[in-house]
Structure 1
Amino acid sequence: MTKEQQAQLSQQGVEALDKLLKETVENRVLPATYFGVTGPEGELYYSCAGEKVFGKPEAGQLFSMTKFVTSLAALQLVEQGKIAVDDPSVIEKHLPELWAQPIITGWTDDGEPQLVPRKNPLTLRHLLTHTSGLGYAFLRPDVLERYEKKEGLKGFLEANIGVEGYVRPLLFEPGTHYAYGTGVDWAGILVMRLTGQTLDEYFHEHIFGPLGIGKEEITFLPTEQVKERLQSMAARTSATKGHIILHPGWRNVAKMTPEMIGLQSGGAGMVGTLRAYLKFLAGILKCQQPGGIISPQTFELVFSDQMPEGKQPRKDLADFLEFMGVTDKQQTEGKVTHSLGLCYLANGSDDGPLPGSARWSGVAKTHYFVDPKAGIAAICGTNIMEEVPTQFLEVYSKFQRTVYDNLVQSKL
């Protein structure tokens, strides 16, 4: 396929996206905002607008956009035959700290955690589909946050944290539920232990490098060069009465140095430009054919239902999406599930993405999707911590609809 043979945005679509972006930042709906659309052979659209405290906004905190890249790194090792997705001995051998974790079922009357041994096997599939039992403390303050406080444990995003930041009890038997959490972080630890490289080193050698993405574009390390381009984190909460304010967020990257990064977080550690991530997504689209960073066979694992069997994990995922403010009924009520890399939309989305698309995001409102049938991927992002219901999701919905209403498939 050539660039001329891929789908295109009409001129009317380009103008409509320009208008939406301009209105979004001028009306202070969002701080500096980025829109990008790509095909496998290159960009169809990219623009950004808005304010940074100093200079042009370019880079931001990507948070959970890291997860997809980490998942692909693990799947590359599966392709090489070094590990298997459904082999529990992989976890037992290479992640013994995780293998030893019990399940927390509640609390005694005198405030002690009730812990029981895990019975079900634990596999890489569970880690990549968020069905391992691992959670996030901020999503389960009644259990995990309470446990951390009682045990005096530091969070995994704090400076100079090691594997101890991820060692926590499970919330349930692997494979029985879905809970968004640190499973992909553990997959990242697995990659680092098997390769002897940091995630930053591995990603740039085997994923970003082959796609022409440099270390100054996406990295785990807050170098001075990265921080000079970094968009300031913002927030809008009930306490700010709807106004956007500057806020350090969960990690004050602007005041961090590379030496403060301990174990690189495969679930939330990257900073970089959304334009570079868009180039990464273009590389994913190319993997439908041989010669990409993953094989066509692995591509199918990223764009198909790979959750353990049972209705409960899928219901949990749909409930979580609704909790996060998603209003698209194809995701909250439809056939939504998880692949070995992304949230998989078997029925597509009412906002535009076709059946078989997949999506995810970062907590600072950096959302993206990949649509193999339409042959496009897209990003809509900013850097803001915002409570549900979010004004960002309204913009993202309009962005997607504008893209699909103006998409022209090539006749070449």
Structure 2
Amino acid sequence: MTSDTIIAEAISSAGLPGATAMIVDRDSVRFSGAWGEADAIARTPMKLDTICQIASMTKALVSIAAMQLVEQGKLTLDGPIGDVLPELANPQVLTGFGEDGKPQLRAAARPITLRHLLTHTSGLGYFFVHPEVLQYFAATAMPAPGTKASITMPLMFDPGDKWEYSVGTDWVGLAVEAASGMTLGDYLSQYILGPLGMKDTAFRPQLPEDAAKVHTRQPGGGWAHSPMNLGGGEFNSGGGGLSSTAPDYGKFLQMILRGGELNGNRIVSEETIAEMSRNQIGNLRAGYMGSAMPDLAPPFDAMPDQHTGWGLGFMINPDPVAGGRSAGSLAWAGIFNSYYWIDPEAGIAGVFISQLSPFGDAGALEAFSALEKMAYA
């Protein structure tokens, strides 16, 4: 059975509308393809260069942007981020809700740092993951999606005390803007996307007509479209706003595999890539997300059988995966069922992009697993 047939059958048996995928090593593209449909209602074929929303796969790019500015001394990993972002200067911790429903707050034990934001240990949360964040917004004022108000919230714990997936990387993007004097989109375009040749990656307030649609399964079979576009809003979302393609993201993965350089363009130093690839959260465990909105993202554990760590922008598996990635590999995902891994030891990385909601679809995960196994076969 050919590689293309293996993935095509995995996508078909998963019942996915369509997907693209790519496997790269340090010097070449080993495998790529597109299957199914970008729009399963209009029956538009998926192509390798079809624009898709990569959602939280944006976080890795924005983490690299922040580390460029750390290298330049324009940001610091461990200084109070409130020096750069006044909105985070005096963090308050949510301790509960009174009988009247009003939030009860206390001052945080320590300042939030850029390291906390990059490692999801700041105390911030996500409205779709944490019921207490949703309750806080309901008690104060429910913010519109894509507004700065939607990422402005009290902390759930003191910075550094726990790992909880969060809007932290949205604030990292705002820190990049504050330190550079540029919009996040312009900064990424000039210093990361342009040098890497990622010509199809951008924040798009309006997606092009031929972009892949986000699909939801209908109870009686068939598909509906979800209108969600994470690329709009009043700020460029560093946590999830980019749309891209598998070939573009493959170039980013190659740059990481090559220690921060691609085609003669150095993005960050080898030392910075090594630091980003090191577990930063001690004995805390990363990778599990609860759910406040299961229709968008039910509870999810990226690697339930491992005590996964977190670097400066990536989840890290401490043990090898049978038939797949080595120990110390980097990975994460996007909410519309897109996934990637980077294996520095083996020099292999892969990306799988589909456009399906809710997150953590069993079929999409099986197809991604098939891609990974194929990469190491």
Deviates more, 1:179-188 or 1:143-152: 143-152
Alpha carbons 1:302, 1:339 under 8 Å: kept: yes
Q: Aligned pair 1:124/2:114, yes or no? A: yes
Q: Aligned pair 1:153/2:131, yes or no? A: no
Alpha-carbon deviations, 1:52-84, whole Å to 9, x = none? 335443111111011001100000000111121
Identity among equivalent positions (%) equals 31
Deviation at 1:252, TM superposition (A): 4.2
Q: 1:368 to 1:108 in 2, by over 3 A?
A: same
Alpha carbons 1:351, 1:397 under 8 Å: kept: no
Structure 2: how far apart are the matches of 1:72 and 1:202? 11
Alpha-carbon deviations, 1:21-60, whole Å to 9, x = none? 3224444621111121011223111100111335443111
Match of 1:36 among 13, 17, 22: 22
Q: Aligned pair 1:232/2:208, yes or no? A: no
Match of 2:352 among 380, 390, 395: 380
Q: Aligned pair 1:199/2:184, yes or no? A: yes
Q: 1:324: which partner in 2?
A: 300
Alpha carbons 2:337, 2:360 under 8 Å: kept: no
Alpha-carbon deviations, 1:326-377, whole Å to 9, x = none? 4xxxx32434100002001222323510112100010101100011111111
Q: Aligned pair 1:96/2:86, yes or no? A: yes
Alpha carbons 1:325, 1:389 under 8 Å: kept: no
Alpha carbons 1:335, 1:346 under 8 Å: kept: yes
Q: 1:355 to 1:25 in 2, by over 3 A?
A: closer
Equivalences for 1:75-94 in 2 at 5 Å?
Answer: 75-88=67-80, 91-94=81-84
Structure 2: how far apart are the matches of 1:46 and 1:277? 12
Instruction: Give SS of 2:289's match.
Output: helix
| One-letter amino acid of the structure 1 residue matched with residue 300 of structure 2 | M
Alpha-carbon deviations, 1:239-264, whole Å to 9, x = none? 726x4522315x247xxxx8x53111
Instruction: Give SS of 1:228's match.
Output: coil
Give the number of the structure whose residues are more often helix, by fraction.
Answer: 1
Runs of 5+ unmatched residues, structure 1 = 1-11, 406-412
Q: 1:172 to 1:299 in 2, by over 3 A?
A: same
Q: 2:330: which partner in 1?
A: 358
Instruction: Give SS of 1:71's match.
Output: helix
Runs of 5+ unmatched residues, structure 2 = 291-297
Q: 1:334 to 1:387 in 2, by over 3 A?
A: closer
Q: 1:318 to 1:271 in 2, by over 3 A?
A: closer
Alpha carbons 2:14, 2:366 under 8 Å: kept: no
| One-letter amino acid of the structure 1 residue matched with residue 233 of structure 2 | I
Equivalences for 1:152-301 in 2 at 5 Å?
Answer: 152-157=141-146, 161=147, 163-214=148-199, 217-223=200-206, 226-236=207-217, 240=219, 243-248=221-226, 251-252=228-229, 261-287=233-259, 292-301=266-275
Alpha carbons 2:93, 2:154 under 8 Å: kept: yes
Structure 2: how far apart are the matches of 1:118 and 1:404? 46
Deviation at 1:288, TM superposition (A): 5.8
Q: 1:52 to 1:319 in 2, by over 3 A?
A: closer
| One-letter amino acid of the structure 2 residue matched with residue 300 of structure 1 | A
Instruction: Give SS of 1:145's match.
Output: helix
Structure 2: how far apart are the matches of 1:113 and 1:188? 28
Deviation at 1:318, TM superposition (A): 4.7
Instruction: Give SS of 2:160's match.
Output: coil
| One-letter amino acid of the structure 2 residue matched with residue 357 of structure 1 | S
Q: 2:375: which partner in 1?
A: 403
**What RMSD over aligned residues (CA atoms) do the two structures have, in Å?**
2.2
Instruction: Give SS of 1:247's match.
Output: strand
Deviates more, 1:391-400 or 1:178-187: 391-400
Alpha-carbon deviations, 1:370-397, whole Å to 9, x = none? 1111111101120101365622112222
Instruction: Give SS of 2:37's match.
Output: coil
Deviates more, 1:376-385 or 1:46-55: 46-55
Show structure 1 runs of 4+ deviating over 6 A.
Answer: none
Deviation at 1:293, TM superposition (A): 0.8
Deviation at 1:92, TM superposition (A): 2.0
Deviates more, 1:386-395 or 1:98-107: 386-395
| One-letter amino acid of the structure 2 residue matched with residue 221 of structure 1 | R
Q: 1:145 to 1:332 in 2, by over 3 A?
A: same
Equivalences for 1:40-119 in 2 at 5 Å?
Answer: 40-53=26-39, 55-57=44-46, 58-88=50-80, 91-119=81-109
Structure 2: how far apart are the matches of 1:283 and 1:269? 21
Structure 2: how far apart are the matches of 1:70 and 1:388? 23
Per the normalisation by structure 2, the TM-score is 0.89
Alpha-carbon deviations, 1:192-237, whole Å to 9, x = none? 11111111111111011111122xx1110245xx51331111123x
Instruction: Give SS of 1:234's match.
Output: strand
Number of equivalenced pairs: 362
Give the number of the structure whose residues are more often strand, by fraction.
Answer: 2
